[in-house]
Amino acid sequence: MAEKFAEIHVWMFNKIKLQNQWGDYIIEELKDISQKNQIQAYVRQNFPFPSGDLHEIIDYENIHLWLEKHLKLTERKLAWIVSQVISNPYSQEQLQEIFYQIGKQHKNVIQPVWVKPSYVYRSITDAMTEGMPCDKANQVISHDENHLTWEVSRCMHQPLWEEENMEIAIYYSLRDSWIKGLLEESEFTYHSQHPQYNIYRKT
């Protein structure tokens, strides 16, 4: 029996697409053409991502499983790409700078609402993945007009990064850089101390 297609599936797929693009951005930055071609060939074979309108490509018989499959593929894709470029040619700090610049670019795509911390938090969590919605991995701990604290109660990334022999701390450092780039020139600042994260209004 076919599942009912809903707006939440579009929302989730947009998050997965953004995660898929993170890996593509890294590849685009590579200057060594041979290395770039080798990585692209491996990605096409092992982490294929569908193109086209979601209504046309999704499996209506297994919507949740289809989305979860591509969520995991894009996560493993990112971890594998990072494993191939860290130390050659990039240091972790250089990768963080790449993700900072990606965050700056994504301001135009995401168009965050700079009203109060809860709005900023919604913009961030509308963009980045933290498992499937039913996993409920993010939990808001406290918030007011000037700050918001949330916690990752269950890391959905670690098993997939470890599957690609990558330390999960590297993922969080890259994600932190992306968020900081997103918030650049806003009236908000971001601090992380995994598993808790904070957004503050600048004073």
Q: Tell me: the pLDDT tens digits for 138-170?
A: 999 999 999 999 999 889 999 999 999 999 999
Using the predicted structure, report yes or no on whether residue 1 has a pLDDT greater than 70.
no
Between 1 and 59, name the one with better pLDDT.
59
Beta strand pairing status for 196-201 and 188-193?
A: antiparallel
pLDDT of residue 111: 84
Using the predicted structure, report yes or no on whether residue 91 has a pLDDT greater than 50.
yes
List helix spans (H) across the chain: 7-29, 33-46, 54-57, 63-85, 92-110, 117-127, 158-163, 168-183
pLDDT-derived band of residue 108, with 50, 70 and 90 as boundaries? confident
**What sign for the dihedral angle of Cα 50, 123, 195, 187?**
positive
- Return d(Cα 78, Cα 138) in angstroms, integer: 21
DSSP state of 193: E
